Amino acid sequence: MGLLWFIIIGAIAGWLAGRFMKGHGFGLLGDIVVGIVGAFIGGYIFGAVGVNLGGGLIGTLIVAFIGAVLLLFIVRLFTGRSRRSWT
């Protein structure tokens, strides 16, 4: 059951991060991957800084969302994908 919640939170965090970063998203599977990787990134960063948002659903979702936004930001730095069109 924990794995199912992990996937659901990853999907929600990835989808929210995609909307927040004004992207087109990566589809359901891509959003899940972005959210799960974002959860690891967010958990690492929050742990290193010493911030704890609690172990509940909302705290976990916030950490995963922030990590997913950071992941998308870094990916867009390297791929050059932007919302703006320079033409």
CA triplet 62, 24, 72: central angle to 5 degrees? 45
Would the pLDDT of 1 be above 70? no
Would the pLDDT of 81 be above 60? no
State residue 86's pLDDT score. 44
Amino acid at 37: V
- Please, are residues 51 and 43 in contact by the beta-carbon 8 Å criterion? no
15 vs 3, 28, 34, 48, 49, CA distance in Å?
Answer: 18, 8, 8, 25, 25
For the chain, domain boundaries: 2-78
Q: Is 82 left (phi over 0), alpha (psi -120 to 50) or beta?
A: beta
Question: For 16-36, what is each residue's pLDDT tens digit?
Answer: 888 888 766 677 787 778 888
